[in-house]
């Protein structure tokens, strides 16, 4: 490397799972994609690390005394880690577990058994939204007054302030801003936003809409509900 030229450091991922064989398989395959990977075999071990140094957390739900959901709450409540994305990777695939994970602020929820290829695709998709905000001015945007979405860098700006949105919330908002005034049924949103999922319940759409409204300030009122029809962005 030439002197004075610093190579960009790859994203650093922390896997937290009490299945050691699974952890090592994930570590090997994720490192093969060029990421830096650390492993913790419990939430307690993870909490001894500098969590602010990571770009993404891949968490199991069912672990020891501190569960993956409890660890996620700790991460989201800390000022230095609250904006770091989380992907749950778990055998617990009930509707309530999935909704609970989304409510905690998880960016994605992968159920076991899964393919390594699927996990890698989800990781890349979540990390794509972490492009620095200073690149936003040169990009095309979808916008309404002070609400702007930049599809290329996966960013959302509300009255000049960046608001970090998980992948599904970002995609819902982008779709609505690109089709202002159109009402989308829950079935349409499920087909467009969750095409890779075999089974996703209507309630997941409602949860994501509620969370999205709360994050975009006064513009949350523009996301309207048409009873018996669905959701849309009113202008």
CB 207 within 8 A of CB 101: no
Q: How many CA atoms lie within 13 A of 235 on its CB side?
A: 12
| Least confident span in 32-46, 53-67, 94-108 | 94-108
Q: Would the pTM count as exceeding 0.85?
A: no
pLDDT of residue 133: 43
pLDDT of residue 5: 37
Q: How far apart are CA 219 and CA 22, in angstroms?
A: 43
Closest-CA residue to 64 (of 112, 17, 97, 15): 17
Rounded to 5 degrees, what are φ and ψ at 151?
-60, -35
The pLDDT tens digits for 129-174 are 654 444 444 457 888 999 999 887 788 999 888 888 888 899 999 9
Q: How far apart are CA 134 and CA 232, in angstroms?
A: 30
More confident residue, 5 or 11: 11
Helix and strand numbers, DSSP H then E, in the chain: 8, 12
140: which 2 tokens? 């095309």
């Amino acid at each position: 490397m030439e002197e004075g030229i610093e190579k960009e450091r790859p994203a650093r991922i922390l896997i937290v799972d009490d299945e050691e064989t699974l952890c090592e398989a994930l570590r090997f395959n994720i490192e093969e994609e060029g990421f830096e990977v650390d492993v913790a075999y419990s939430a307690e071990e993870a909490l001894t690390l500098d969590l602010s140094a990571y770009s993404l957390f891949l968490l199991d739900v069912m672990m020891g005394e501190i569960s993956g959901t409890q660890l996620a709450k700790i991460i989201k409540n800390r000022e230095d880690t609250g904006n770091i994305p989380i992907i749950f990777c778990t055998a617990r695939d009930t509707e309530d577990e999935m909704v609970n994970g989304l409510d905690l602020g998880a960016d994605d929820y992968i159920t076991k058994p899964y393919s390594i290829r699927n996990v890698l695709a989800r990781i890349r998709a979540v990390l794509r939204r972490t492009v620095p905000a200073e690149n936003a001015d040169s990009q095309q945007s979808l916008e309404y007054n002070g609400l702007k979405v930049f599809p290329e860098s996966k960013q959302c700006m509300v009255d000049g302030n960046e608001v970090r949105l998980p992948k599904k919330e970002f995609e819902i908002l982008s779709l609505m801003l690109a089709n202002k005034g159109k009402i989308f049924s829950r079935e349409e949103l499920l087909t467009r936003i969750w095409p890779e999922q075999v089974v996703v319940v209507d309630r997941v759409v409602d949860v994501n809409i509620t969370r999205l409204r709360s994050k975009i300030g006064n513009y949350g009122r523009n996301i309207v509900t048409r009873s018996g029809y669905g959701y849309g962005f009113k202008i």
